[in-house]
Chains A and B, each alone.
Chain A
Amino acid sequence: MSQEKKMKLTLPVEEYVGSGNLACQGCGANLALRYILKALGPKTVLCIPACCWAVIDGPFPHSCMSVSIYHCAFETAASTATGVKAGLDMLGDTDMNVVSWAGDGGTLDIGIQALSGAAERNDDIIYVCYDNEAYMNTGIQRSSATPKGAWTTTTPVKFPKVESKKDIDAIMAAHRIPYQATASIAYPEDLYKKMLKAKNIKGTRFFHIFAPCPTGWKSRPEDAVKLARMAVQNCLFPLYEIEHGENLALNIKIQNKKPIDDYLKLQGRFRHLKPADIQSMQEEVDRNWNRILKKAQGC
């Protein structure tokens, strides 16, 4: 290896999330924010409701971030961003990226009203939901983003979750917002590119980012990126973008779709599943994937 060869860095080197933060080992949400801020840069305000990230940032008067953040109530990620944006506009500071950075509970459950309101008004904010598929900060309770069959403390093995994961992306598409995308920590360049694109669009922009949580999923910390990649490769979490509620475009083409078995096996939260349960999960993944494919073809 020649000494002159450069390290291949596929993302900007600037970091806006600092070390010393309180995320667990291998936290996917930590990676997600790291990538987003590489795209958005220093002129960004994050509105963070109650969630793991409200803790990860660090206790008062400390913060691991080098952008401004505004801690807000659990249900108000979107409305806080709307207010911050309006305030900055009044001050004439119109080129600040105002971002809601919320968990799946804060988005699909308690925050959905504020989010729907902001989207309906087409407020000029970027709403990002990092999806770790449960209420992790309070000790792993089920949310409406928890997949069917998964163990959580409120859906124990004896009383598994019988409801399917809520399709927040379809709900947001129904609001016909200018831009929305799904993204994954396993594909940071794709996430980065889409965030750059969103940065230059006006109106409500929505991101749904798949962010494995080793603590809540009972998986090994070193598997966090691998699990996120598997979820894309087995079409459980397809990566796509939608403009104005239509024109769905797939970002990562899947050549040979893998079964979900290996993905499930790496996670303790699915350990109790019987072959019949896995079969029915696989069928659901296939149904959802076919629906996405149809939309991608404009049917």
Chain B
Amino acid sequence: MSKKKDAAKIIFESEKDVPIMPMSLGSMLFNKTGSWRNIRPEIRTADCIRCGICWKFCPDMSILVEEELPVVDYDFCKGCGICAEECPVKCIEMAEERK
């Protein structure tokens, strides 16, 4: 849901723009954590049994469900490998990151 929030990074032009109370004004979506990755999960959807376990255990909300199948959000996936480790039919493989 929060992925629909504004993804722009907020930069204050002058001191006057800074709110008196330090409060959050924007999301973290400007921070594309996909760049942290050195291995990337690749899902062989043909073998997927749609158990939802990869979705459930992704700490970064980076397994999306599209047309009843898991899809990796490479903008934010940090490459932890939990999805591949937990997949009961081992249809997720951690491959070397491509440039």
Contacts of A28 in B (CB 8 A): 59
Q: Does A74 contact B (CB under 8 A)?
A: no
> Distance (Å) between the CB of A192 and the closest chain B CB?
10
B65 touches A64 (CB 8 A): no
Contacts of B25 in A (CB 8 A): 61-62
Binds B, one of A9-17, A144-152, A158-166, A257-265: A9-17
> Distance (Å) between the CB of A230 and the closest chain B CB?
13
Interface residue from B30, B50, B55, B68 paired with A20 (Cβ < 8 Å): B30
Interface residue from A4, A6, A30 paired with B59 (Cβ < 8 Å): A30
Interface string of B23-36 (1 = CB under 8 A from A): 11111111111001
Assuming the contacts A7-B70, A11-B56, asked whether A18 and B3 have C-beta atoms less than 8 A apart, the reply is yes
CA distance in complex: A60, B84 (Å): 34
> Distance (Å) between the CB of B39 and the closest chain A CB?
9
B3 touches A19 (CB 8 A): yes
Interface residue from B50, B61, B81, B85 paired with A1 (Cβ < 8 Å): B50
Q: Does A58 contact B (CB under 8 A)?
A: yes
B28 touches A25 (CB 8 A): no
Interfacial residues of chain A within 1-57, with CB under 8 A of chain B in the complex: 1, 3-11, 13-23, 25-28, 30-31, 34, 57
Interface residue from B10, B79, B85 paired with A61 (Cβ < 8 Å): B10
B82 touches A224 (CB 8 A): yes
- Chain B: residues with Cβ within 8 Å of the partner, total of 49
Most central of A3, A22, A27, A60 by chain B CB within 10 Å: A60
B28 touches A64 (CB 8 A): yes
> Distance (Å) between the CB of A223 and the closest chain B CB?
7
CA distance in complex: A159, B1 (Å): 48
Contacts of B9 in A (CB 8 A): 62
A7 touches B1 (CB 8 A): no
A7 touches B29 (CB 8 A): no
Contacts of A21 in B (CB 8 A): 28, 31, 33, 60
Q: Which residue of the partner chain B has the closest CB to A4?
A: B68
B5 touches A66 (CB 8 A): yes
B2 touches A64 (CB 8 A): yes
Q: Which residue of the partner chain B has the closest CB to A221?
A: B80
Which label, helix, strand, loop or mixed, suits the secondary structure of the B interface?
A: loop
Interface string of B13-50 (1 = CB under 8 A from A): 00000010011111111111100100000000000111
Assuming the contacts A8-B50, A16-B2, A66-B1, asked whether A61 and B70 have C-beta atoms less than 8 A apart, the reply is no
A26 touches B81 (CB 8 A): yes
Q: Which residue of the partner chain A has the closest CB to B27?
A: A18
Assuming the contacts A18-B3, A18-B28, A18-B29, asked whether A27 and B59 have C-beta atoms less than 8 A apart, the reply is yes
B3 touches A61 (CB 8 A): no
B81 touches A14 (CB 8 A): no
Binding site for A on B (CB under 8 A): 1-3, 5, 9-10, 12, 19, 22-33, 36, 48-52, 55-57, 59-62, 65, 68-70, 73, 75-76, 78-82, 84-86, 94
Given contacts A7-B51, A222-B85, A223-B85, 9 further A-B contacts (CB under 8 A): A10-B56, A19-B60, A19-B73, A22-B28, A58-B28, A60-B22, A61-B22, A61-B25, A188-B57
Binding site for B on A (CB under 8 A): 1, 3-11, 13-23, 25-28, 30-31, 34, 57-58, 60-66, 69, 188, 214, 220-226
The 3 closest A-B pairs by CB, nearest first: A222-B81, A63-B24, A20-B28
12 contacts between A and B (CB under 8 A): A9-B52, A11-B56, A19-B3, A19-B62, A19-B75, A25-B81, A26-B82, A61-B19, A65-B24, A221-B80, A222-B82, A223-B85
